Chains A and B, each alone.
Chain A
Amino acid sequence: GEDVEQSLFLSVREGDSSVINCTYTDSSSTYLYWYKQEPGAGLQLLTYIFSNMDMKQDQRLTVLLNKKDKHLSLRIADTQTGDSAIYFCAEKSPDSNYQLIWGAGTKLIIKP
């Protein structure tokens, strides 16, 4: 079956690194995504990774993909209060050109 799982909450101290984890079930997924939703706003694409890559880095963000374990992670270095948001993991559905399969979202809480 198709399912994307993530923890509902993560709490980190300001300045530390945050690591948000996600597991997916379909090994044929071609694209995996991280979206960010700030309070009261819609979702915004943060980054995505192709399934033939192991890692992608973009400034403070690092995405790691472990295809063997079907595990995706998002690391945010030097976490700031502006990083407080809900982070959604999603994979492109193998059965559709249009649909994404979404995780439930991880709420990142920043402690001062």
Chain B
Amino acid sequence: DVKVTQSSRYLVKRTGEKVFLECVQDMDHENMFWYRQDPGLGLRLIYFSYDVKMKEKGDIPEGYSVSREKKERFSLILESASTNQTSMYLCASSLYGVEQYFGPGTRLTVT
């Protein structure tokens, strides 16, 4: 079974803090994704990576950066957290880009 894990289920941070969200997958998948999920808006792609050290912007990259130093790990970084980044963050991975496997999500609150 594919397993995608995220470092925290719940996180509370203050405005202006630097925030790291970590995602690890154990199936040697090439592709990894970071989404945010907001009610009524569905999933919006922040960044994705199709190989180590390779990344591409998704639909809403502003205010975020990513890092993929190892194949199994994909990190999402909020350089200076703001209240409008309060959301559910979902990480996913895929092998051939068809079926995506998701982690349980991190609910981030920025106060």
Q: Is the CB of B42 within 8 A of A105?
A: yes
Within 8 Å CB of A35, what residues of B?
102
Among residues of B, the one whose C-beta sits closest to the C-beta of A41 is: B104
Say whether, besides A88-B42, A88-B43, A105-B42, A43 and B102 are in contact (CB < 8 Å). yes
Query: How far apart are B57's CB and chain A's nearest CB, in angstroms?
Result: 11
Say whether, besides A42-B104, A42-B105, A97 and B40 are in contact (CB < 8 Å). no
SS of B interface (majority): strand
Among residues of B, the one whose C-beta sits closest to the C-beta of A30 is: B98
Size band of the A side of the interface? 20 to 34
Within 8 Å CB of A100, what residues of B?
100
Within 8 Å CB of B103, what residues of A?
42
Q: Is the CB of A45 within 8 A of B99?
A: yes
Query: How far apart are A6's CB and chain B's nearest CB, in angstroms?
Result: 9
Q: Provide the bound-state CA to CA distance between A104 and B41, in Å.
A: 5
Size band of the B side of the interface? 20 to 34
Q: Is the CB of A97 within 8 A of B42?
A: no
Q: Which of B40, B50, B100, B104 contacts A45 (CB 8 A)?
A: B100
27 example contacts (A-B, Cβ-Cβ < 8 A) are as follows A33-B99, A35-B102, A42-B102, A43-B43, A43-B90, A43-B92, A43-B100, A44-B102, A45-B100, A48-B99, A88-B42, A88-B43, A92-B98, A96-B97, A97-B97, A98-B31, A98-B33, A98-B48, A98-B50, A98-B97, A99-B45, A99-B48, A99-B58, A99-B97, A102-B44, A104-B40, A105-B42
Chain A residues proximal to chain B, CB less than 8 Å: 8, 31, 33, 35, 40-45, 48, 88, 92, 96-100, 102-105
